[in-house]
Structure 1
């Protein structure tokens, strides 16, 4: 799992780019040229610039989950709706953890796809209505912008 590496701007750029793309700390630290998990924690305590960049990258990664949600919603069918619901709800939870100011539980927004009935219990009309609502809400989120002010 990673090794001790020298702190450089290039390494920080590469590391934070991976975070912003949604990669996990664990997967990044597994790379031979990347810092270990312990070293990242140390840098977060000792280096203000790294702390700022790390936090920004984590917040930006939440936006990548928005894109994943939109892709998932646009690919919804009656056959994959249940799996899509689980993915979307999971991504919303991750987004709330990574950028609580925009996606946290204290916000009014809810995951767009939470049917009361199971997909199997829904009529075709109910499923279509639910899918349309989900797509509309996801597009509205995309139009809200990046959330950085």
Structure 2
């Protein structure tokens, strides 16, 4: 009797550790098609996530390529959101011989998917999908902070958050930030100014304007009333004042509806259908 042959274990495929442009391009292309970095790096033929991020960190050109791939991934997520939001195929549960039921589980799951994708898009691609107010306030200087820039004539610069032409925030630790302040101070000094403001005042952006006040505009009284009409109108007003409690909050429409109902029932024996239903 022959003993069974023992086969050696299969060698695991070795992940690439040395940078290669071909592999880097494959990862970026797969991200563009909608795969996340973690999903891609779980492929045994791809570098680990730590290795890939180390490749990105060592080269500015790779950082730019990776950033573009990640932005394309966010656009893919936007397409997914549209597909999820427009898919109503499972919104109702069909029941034989009974009315359809709303499939709340399906709807809630779709809402969760959309909210999750929106969160990822805002965090990973804030320039395009982030909240405008959040972008303006993140890493921004204190609203209206001041500093003294002095040459022959000291200039007080009032600094608000500064934005580039594409709407992105100029951070305080960037060379563009200091250059913009010095430029504003030089121009103000050349014009003989002691104070200058630079940046965007966020008070008008973040705080909404107060709601407009709606004032009551009563209709003008008619001027062609006869003395008899004025006398009747006076009697009606006095009747209302004597009858309705002084602390009543009834609107004029309610009061005149009651008067009209009483007049119709007394003189025409007609009862308004809506009021009759309310009384019943």
Does residue 64 (structure 1) correspond to residue 90 (structure 2)? The answer is no
Higher helix proportion: 1
Map 1:71-90 to 2 at 5 A. 71-76=83-88, 77=91, 78-79=102-103, 80-90=106-116
TM-aligned CA deviation for residue 93 of structure 1: 0.5
**Which residue of structure 2 lines up, in the alignment, with residue 46 of structure 1?**
58
Runs of 4+ in 1 over 6 A off after TM superposition: none
Question: How far apart are 1:95 and its partner, in Å?
Answer: 0.9
SS, match of residue 132 in structure 2: coil
Q: What is the TM-score with the length of structure 1 in the denominator?
A: 0.64
Deviation at 1:8, TM superposition (A): 2.3
1:75-97 deviation line (CA, Å, top 9, x unaligned): 13242222111111111001112
Question: Across the two proteins, how many residue pairs are aligned to each other?
Answer: 108
2:249 counterpart residue number: none
Q: Secondary structure at the match of 1:92?
A: helix
Per-residue deviation at 1:22? 2.9
- SS of 2:31's equivalent in the other structure is helix
The answer to whether the 8 A contact 1:5-1:33 is kept is no
Partner of 1:99: 125
Task: Give the greater-gyration-radius structure (CA).
Answer: 2
Following superposition, the deviation at residue 64 of structure 1 comes to 0.6
Once the two structures are superposed, residues 103-130 of structure 1 have per-residue CA deviations (whole angstroms, 9 ceiling, x without a partner) of 113369xxxxxxxxxxxxxxxxxxxxxx
CA distance in 1 between partners of 2:73 and 2:66 (Å): 11
Q: Take 2:120 and 2:76, find their aligned partners in 1: how far apart are those partners?
A: 11
- Pick from 32, 38, 44 the counterpart of residue 20 of structure 1: 32
Match of 2:246 in 1: none
**Uncovered stretches (5+) of structure 1, i.e. residues with no partner:** 109-149
Pick closer, same or farther for the CA change 1:74–1:107 going to 2, 3 Å.
Answer: farther
Pick the structure with more strand per residue: 2
Segments of structure 2 that go 5 or more residues without pairing to the other structure are 1-13, 92-101, 135-280
* Kept in 2: contact 1:5–1:34 (CA 8 A): no
Structure number with greater CO (CA < 8 Å, separation at least 6) is 1
Q: Is contact 1:96-1:104 (8 Å) kept?
A: yes
TM-score (norm 2): 0.36
